[in-house]
Amino acid sequence: MLWLALPLVLMGWRRGALSALALILLPVWPQPAAAISWEELWQREDQRAPALIQDNPESAARQLEDPEWRGSALYRSGKYDSAAEAFARKQGPRASYNRGNALARAGKLEEALAAYDAALNAAPDMEDALHNRKIVEELLNQEQQNQDGNQDNNQQDSRNSQGDSSNQQQNRQGQNGNK
């Protein structure tokens, strides 16, 4: 059947009609199929996100695109550094507060304080941020006190070991003199 259409195609090509037809048909060329789930068909991401995060946070982190929802999923799955990065992509006091929580869980206490401060600058009455900032500040103070205590112990240990080595040298000299 295509052989029969060939003369028409050649005539159209020569007159430029075929190229115009090609320009018209190219936009309607079939596109690759994009599969979506049944839930995606009927619900927006913000409607699906809480259930996704509760069921499987790691899978939800791969599926969700909104930085706050993705950050929440990463936080729930224990990936605190990645959650903090996701929350940093969003602006506002809630995102800063959540970023502070993720940083605190990751052990980055000074950065968490800065994130809580940013949240409190935007919303001074945010009680959760005030409470968590106080807790992180206390943890940071305890950590610094422990480090100061360890440094003092290390200095005392080094003084003791220096004293022991001088005693050992005196003992050796005494033993050499006895021979």
Length of the chain: 179
Looking at residue 116, its pLDDT comes to: 95
Residue 66 dihedral angles phi and psi, to the nearest 5°: -65, 130
Looking at residue 18, its pLDDT comes to: 55
* pTM, 2 dp: 0.63
Angle in degrees, CA 96, 65, 123, rounded to 5: 20
Q: The domain 44-153 is classified under which CATH number: 1.10.10.1100, 3.40.50.300, 3.40.50.410, 1.25.40.10?
A: 1.25.40.10
Looking at residue 148, its pLDDT comes to: 79
- For the chain, what are the domain ranges? 44-153
- Alpha helix segments (H runs only) across the chain: 2-15, 17-25, 38-42, 45-55, 57-63, 67-76, 80-88, 93-105, 109-122, 127-178
pLDDT along the chain (179 residues), means of 10: 68 60 60 68 79 90 91 94 94 95 94 95 94 94 85 60 50 48
Looking at residue 156, its pLDDT comes to: 61
